[in-house]
Every structure is written in structure tokens, then in C-alpha cells.
């Protein structure tokens, strides 16, 4: 990953980008097995992707409404036959 990736993710805030880089470095150091030899045909990984994921949001909109939860479930598409 490049520094520009972290800057863009942090909307060019240097402090936020630094925090992202530090957290990324900690994750790679503490859990190196997460970042290498990923088998995309592993049944547990396929099951996790099929289930989808849940993203919790705790921000208010401009009108004062609260958005509590957004659930996103990816759709598996058959690319090759």
C-alpha cells in the first residue's frame, strides 16, 4: 500500500493517515497470517462472504435523524462458466 492510499482514505488529514498507517502496521505485525496465502476457494471464507456483513453507523443526518444500522449483503455473481 502506498502513502497516498492512506491519505485519500483519511481525506488528506495527516494525523488520521498516520493513525491508519500505524494500525495497519500493527495488524501486519500481530496477525501476519491474515495477509498472506489467502485461499479464495476456502469454504469458511466463501460462507462468510455469502452471509454478508453488518456495518453499524452512529451519526446524525442534517435533519437530526439517526441512522442506526446499515446491513450490506454482497451478491455472488458467476463470472466464468
pLDDT per position as a tens digit, 20-72: 999 999 999 998 887 788 787 888 877 877 776 655 555 666 666 665 555 55
Residue 20 lies in a domain: yes
In this prediction the pTM is: 0.50
Domain encompassing residue 28: 3-72
The owner of cell 454482497 is 74
The rounded distance, in Å, linking the Cα atoms of 22 and 69 is 28
The rounded distance, in Å, linking the Cα atoms of 17 and 3 is 8
Residue 26 lies in a domain: yes
Residue 81 lies in a domain: no
Grid cell in block for residue 20: 491508519
Residue 54 lies in a domain: yes
User: How many structural domains is the chain composed of?
Assistant: 1
Residue 30 lies in a domain: yes
Amino acid at each position: 500500500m502506498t502513502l497516498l492510499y492512506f491519505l485519500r482514505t483519511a481525506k488528506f488529514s495527516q494525523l488520521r493517515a498516520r493513525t491508519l498507517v500505524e494500525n495497519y502496521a500493527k495488524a501486519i505485525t500481530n496477525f501476519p497470517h491474515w495477509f498472506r496465502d489467502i485461499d479464495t476457494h476456502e469454504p469458511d471464507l466463501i460462507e462468510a462472504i455469502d452471509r454478508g456483513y453488518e456495518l453499524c453507523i452512529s451519526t446524525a443526518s442534517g435533519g437530526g435523524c439517526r441512522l442506526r444500522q446499515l446491513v450490506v449483503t454482497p451478491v455472488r455473481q458467476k463470472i466464468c462458466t
